[in-house]
Amino acid sequence: MRLLLVVALLLSWGPVMAMPSIEIIIRNHLFYPSELTIAADTKVKLIIVNQDASAEEFESYELNREKVIPGHSKGIVFVGPLAPGTYPFFGEFFPKTAQGHIIVK
């Protein structure tokens, strides 16, 4: 049983192939695009490029993700596989302006 657990964990250490990716730009404390549509039950790589000089944090409790992206740099966030629905996200450093959502169909 213990050996099976170890083997299962080791086998899980493999790269995910052919994953769709979407680029999100942070500019003037706004997300571009602020609305994304992705397929249900599919893992997606979000490449978040912060063009502002100040840091921003991509955060979503619904997605169970938080990622600080320093100014003039980029961060990677993997989301999914998700059930159909709408998943909001926001920028924790500028929450009044930096808002968006992911629609899963």
Partner 1 sequence: MWHGRKVLSDMKKIIVGLLIWPFIAVADGGSVDKVYHPYVQPLETEIEWRVLSVGNEQLYRLGIGQALSDNVFIEAYYITNKGHAVAEKEAYELELKWQLTEQSEYEVDWGILFELEKVQHEGVWELSTALLMEKEWGKWVTAVNTHLIVEWGNDIETEIETSLAIQAKYRYAAHFEPAIEFYSAESGQAIGPVVMGDIRLGQAKKLHWEIGSIFGLGYKGPDNTWRFLMEYEF
Question: Which stretches of the chain bind partner 1, using CB under 8 A?
Answer: 2, 5-6, 9-10, 12-16, 43, 55, 57, 61, 64-70, 75-80, 92-95
CB of 69 to partner 1, least distance (A): 8
Distance in angstroms (rounded) separating the CA atoms of residues 93 and 105: 29
Question: b/e map of 35-50 (b: 16 or more CB within 10 Å)?
Answer: ebebeeeeebebebeb
Which of 33/70 has CB closer to partner 1? 70
- Cβ-contact 25, 93 below 8 angstroms: no
Which of 79/102 has CB closer to partner 1? 79
Which of 25/45 has CB closer to partner 1? 45
- Residue 103's identity, in one-letter code, is I
Which of 33/81 has CB closer to partner 1? 81
CB of 4 to partner 1, least distance (A): 12
Calculate the CA dihedral of residues 44, 38, 89, 52 and round it to 10 degrees. 70
